[in-house]
Structure 1
């Protein structure tokens, strides 16, 4: 439309997401968000609402991008839950090693700053973590382990995932991160194998 500046909303949202990802919610100032997106404060408010609304939209965009990758990895090894977890961590480590995006994980960054978030955003972050846990839990379901063990393993995998993100921001090397992930995968595989052995023994 004549007289109005045209811009790609999706691209602006991606740039805002990177600011939140790199700086965290508290330190992502409107000036920084405006500089990254190329939008003035008025345009930011007019397009996305307030900072909390923009942050929520960025969380959803992040979750849609990487959530789809997690789902694909976890679903690629039906009948082999241990291998599915390995594939999940491959995606996680690939994201961490990707030089085109900020270090770490937006969800982990946001979870660490939960006390500074508005209630709605805090609920959203917890919901995204729970969605991640549910995805992993579903991939583990094709196992003879009891429900409690599978619930604990799913929580464990998500905890390791979040830890990898935090460690990467602290400068931990790729080799060390892969060692952590490898030990986590071994723990999952050993736990599932033990459950299967116990189930066979009882049979």
Structure 2
């Protein structure tokens, strides 16, 4: 249409996503988002519905990009829960080590700011964390252990993922992050082994 600026929505989302990822929601001003995307305030509102709506779309974009990698890693080890968790954490560590993206994790960064997010955006972040837990829980499903143990392990793995993101953001070296991941995998393996060999409780 004549006089109307055309742009690639996916490219703009990627650019805005990096701003939220690097700066966090609070410091991702409309001016910063506009500078990154090349869009004016009117275009941001007209195309994405404003800062909050753009933020949620960026969260979904982030979850789709890395979620696909997580699913692929987990699917490759569907019969080995411990190896699946190792592969999952390998993807997390690879993302953290990637110099082409901001440090940390957009979801972890956003979760840390939940108190200042609006109700809808805060709920969106919580939903993405729940999706991570369900993804890990599904990878553990083949283990012959009490479902409550598997639920707890899934929550533990998600906590480790978020902790790795925070530590990397604070500048922890790769060797330390990998040490945390190894200990997490050992904990998962030991917990599953104990849960599998434990005698059933008396009624």
Instruction: Report TM bin, short chain.
Output: over 0.9
Q: Does the Cα contact within 8 Å between 1:144 and 1:199 map onto a contact in 2? A: no
- Dislocated runs of 4+, deviation >6 Å: none
Aligned equivalents of 2:65, 2:149: Cα separation in 1: 29
Contact 1:74 1:87 in 2 (8 A): yes
Alignment-derived partner of residue 61 in structure 1: 61
* Distance (Å, rounded) in 2 between the aligned partners of 1:26 and 1:3: 33
2:113 alignment counterpart: 113
Residue 56 of structure 1: how far off its partner (Å): 0.6
Answer yes or no: is 1:184 the counterpart of 2:188.
no
Report deviation, 1:196: 2.1
Question: Paired residues, what number?
Answer: 201
Shift of 1:3: 2.1
* 1:42 and 2:42 matched: yes
- 1:53-202 equivalences under 5 Å are 53-198=53-198
Deviation at 1:50, TM superposition (A): 1.2
Cα distance per residue 1:76-112 (max 9 Å; x no partner):
1021000000000000000000111100000000000
Taking only aligned residues, the RMSD between alpha carbons, in angstroms, comes to 1.3
Deviation, 1:5, is 1.5
Q: CA deviation at 1:199?
A: 6.0
Give the superposition deviation at 1:175.
0.5
